[in-house]
Amino acid sequence: MAGSSHGHGHTPAAWTGVIIAFIGFCVAGAFMVMAQPVGFWAGMALTLLGGVVGAIMRAMGLGQPKQTAAVARTSASPEPAAAGR
């Protein structure tokens, strides 16, 4: 696939944040069906906590490394085709 970044999201920070958010989503959904507002909001808080944990882990160096502007520009532009091949 053109323009795909290999390894995008395959970091401990991404996996941990998504798993926590998914559990929070499931908790909120279950309590919504049971008509328990307190449990629903607890699940929503857990969902938001997943994003916070992911951001903290990324700040600790467990996420995708940031690219510099020069690297991002060169990787985004396609290589020129070789003439005569």
pLDDT of residue 6: 62
- Give 9-33 pLDDT, tens digit per residue: 688 888 999 999 999 999 999 999 9
What is the residue range of 16's domain?
Answer: 12-61
Q: pLDDT tens across 40-69, in order?
A: 999 999 999 999 999 999 998 888 887 754
pLDDT value, residue 1 = 47
Q: How confident is the model at residue 74 (pLDDT cuts 50, 70, 90)?
A: low
Q: How many domains does the chain have?
A: 1
Q: In the prediction, which pLDDT does 85 show?
A: 54
**What are the b/e assignments for 9-48, b being 16+ CB within 10 Å?**
eebebbebbeebbeebeebbeebeeeeeeeebeebbebbe
Domain assignment present for residue 29? The answer is: yes
